[in-house]
């Protein structure tokens, strides 16, 4: 995985490489939580099946507001789906996504409601 950040030499932007394990972590179970987003979990979701082949069934606990489901791949790919207010369950197609590990993040009103590791296996 290649990333970048400010270096110690002249405070310039430099690239760096991070080696991660097969499950996407360096040494922490929570390593996939983005430092960019503020994590304030306010609800929850269930995902079935996991690993998924063609579709994912998403069930969320809060239905009083709409939500965005972001599926982020370890290579940086991003898929976004909208779940309407009042809708507690939705099915999304993942047949176009390559095999691999992903992070599903449910965002409600700008806050992370839930986050879950997902596996796609065709």
Query: CATH number for the domain including 40?
Result: 2.60.40.10
3 state SS of 63: coil
Check whether the bond before 15 is cis (ω within 30° of 0).
no
Q: How many folded domains does the chain comprise?
A: 1
Of 53, 52, 114, whose CA–CA distance to 83 is shortest?
114
Evaluate whether residue 15 is within a structural domain.
no
- The pLDDT of residue 28: 42
Q: What average pLDDT does this structure show over 14-22?
A: 53
- The pLDDT of residue 25: 57
Identify the residue with better confidence: 74 or 98.
98
DSSP states of 108-121 as a string?
ETTEEEEEEEEEE-
* Residues of the domain holding 84: 30-120
Q: Which two tokens stand for residue 82?
A: 């909208």
Q: Does pTM surpass 0.85?
A: no
Evaluate whether residue 12 is within a structural domain.
no
Low-confidence winner among 15-19, 56-60, 80-84, 108-112 (lowest mean pLDDT): 15-19
- CB 107, CB 68: distance < 8 Å: yes
- Chain segment 61-89, per-residue pLDDT in tens: 878 888 999 999 888 888 999 999 999 88
* pLDDT surpassing 90 at residue 120: yes
């Amino acid at each position: 995985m290649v990333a970048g950040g400010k270096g110690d030499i002249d405070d310039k932007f430099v690239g760096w490489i991070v080696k991660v394990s097969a499950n996407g972590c360096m040494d922490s179970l929570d390593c996939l939580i983005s430092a960019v987003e503020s994590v304030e979990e306010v609800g929850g979701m269930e995902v079935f099946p996991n690993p998924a082949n063609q579709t994912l069934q998403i069930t969320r606990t809060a239905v009083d507001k709409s939500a965005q489901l972001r599926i982020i791949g370890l290579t940086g790919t991003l898929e976004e789906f909208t779940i309407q207010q009042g809708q507690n369950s939705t099915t999304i197609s993942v047949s176009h996504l390559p095999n691999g590990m992903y992070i599903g993040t449910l965002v409600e009103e700008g806050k992370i409601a839930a986050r879950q590791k997902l596996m796609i296996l065709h």
